[in-house]
Amino acid sequence: MAATGDTILARPAPPGGRPPGALRRYALAAAFLAPAAILLGVWVVYPTIHTIIRSFYDRSGDSFVWFDNYQTIFTSDILVTALKNNLLWVLVVPTLVASIGLVFAVLMERVSWAVAFRTAVFMPMAISAFAAGITWRIVYIDDPNLGVANAAIKSVDDVFNPSGVLPQASPSTKDLVQKGGGMELKSPVQAGDTAELGLTAIPPTDIPSNAQQAVTPEPLQGGISGVVWRDFKPGGGTPGKVEPEELGLPGVHLDLLDQGGSKVASTSSADDGSFQFADVGNGSYTVAVSPSTFAKPFGGVDWLGPRLVTPAIMIAYLWIWAGFAMVVIAAGLAAIPRDVLEAARTDGATEFQVFRKVTAPLLAPVLTVVFVTMLINVLKVFDIVISIAPGSSQDDANVLALAMWRTSFGGNNDFGVGSAIAVLIFLLVIPVLALNVRRFRREG
């Protein structure tokens, strides 16, 4: 290919119209262009043609299979997932990046410490998408005690859904039965009765630190008294009986239900596990441990599981590229003549109107550049996906570039389908070529 390029450049011009010394000048130009021609010819042009041809041959490259490889892309489950995911990337990410960049750029213009903000948001652009992936993998660790994303969600979740004092516990005798997430005593009670609710299978680490020796409840005149305790004694003991060394369970939510099952009173247990429902009317009641006692603590969002892995990677990607959009859009904003904006304001336009009618239209070309750049990037996204998605989720997080690499080099070694995926990526970015050339011709 390189040779061809050189011959074209050094080709003798048609006889007649050539000024003297032209041949020498062409040879000079060829010398300046030769290294570039070799590199582009061998590393870009030759492989491009080769890949296109290769995509019509089978895995081994021996037989011509027409469009079979392309058909595989649209029928194999893994590759269809990659197509769908990449479509999602195209639909969501460029728009989001441009929007976030626009908001940041507009806000940043109004503060004096814009440089500091720009540096913070722009910095991820400098690091590798691969390193960014590892960085976010640490952010996304499942355990809310270790991963900062889940820790943040947990701190909010704890306000609205406080976790119960006993995330796990089971009845110690058959007198207590599990019902609707809580537990209740089988036999009804009346005023003056006592209720003993024994629980076991509570890990020692879950026992509240203020727990004290449980006490057998004394009957209460006109009320119901009871105890809820950890009915477990190291080395044995009798289930259903409060014994020494068995601790009361403080903070347990207890409900008193009438015959119809509706709640008439509720209370919570003291440090020794005792509780009282005073001034209970006639009739029989059921004592129940409210489900809130057993509410599980927030266990962490499974960011990198099959369902959320793609959105999780997209968030990391936004983190990288928002700075790019912001800087380019900010430059566009700075280029808008101040007097145009002032004129609009003088004419009585509100800030929002100024933005919509003046700023936004003038920014349109810059927004297009950001959008188109992101479109190309998103079609080729690879590093961040392979570094964030754990092996078990890579099929679910798959995108075209990752599928291309895994099909060709990731153990599958199918150069036929791999070439076809590469050509598909190429075909998808080609429309952008037209845009680029148009832009170049306008500028050049």
How far apart CA 430 and CA 425 sit, in angstroms, is 9
Q: Where does 161-232 have alpha helices with state H? A: none
Residue 182 or 426 with smaller CB distance to another protein? 426
Nearer to another protein, 100 or 289 (CB): 100
Q: Of the candidates 290, 20, 309, 324, which has an alpha carbon nearest to the alpha carbon of residue 164?
A: 290
| Dihedral (CA of 309, 314, 319, 320) sign | positive
Question: Checking DSSP bridges between strand 194-200 and strand 224-230, what pairing results, if any?
Answer: parallel
Rg (CA), the chain: 35
Least Å distance, CB 406 to another protein, is 11
- CB nearer another protein, residue 361 or residue 391: 391
Nearer to another protein, 51 or 213 (CB): 51
Q: How far is the CB of 166 from another protein (least distance, A)?
A: 23
CB of 409 to another protein, least distance (A): 6
- Give the torsion sign (CA, 49, 53, 59, 61): negative
**What is the C-alpha separation between 44 and 47, in angstroms, rounded?**
6
Closer CB to another protein, 137 or 230, in the complex: 137
Residue found under tokens 């892995």: 309
Amino acid at 156: V
Minimum Å gap between C-beta 203 and another protein is 17
Q: How far apart are CA 142 and CA 147, in angstroms?
A: 6
Nearer to another protein, 13 or 343 (CB): 13
| Beta carbon of residue 80, minimum distance to another protein (angstroms, whole number) | 19
Paired residues of 287 in beta bridges: 256
- Nearest approach, Cβ of residue 402 and another protein (Å): 10
Distance CA 317, CA 385 (A): 9
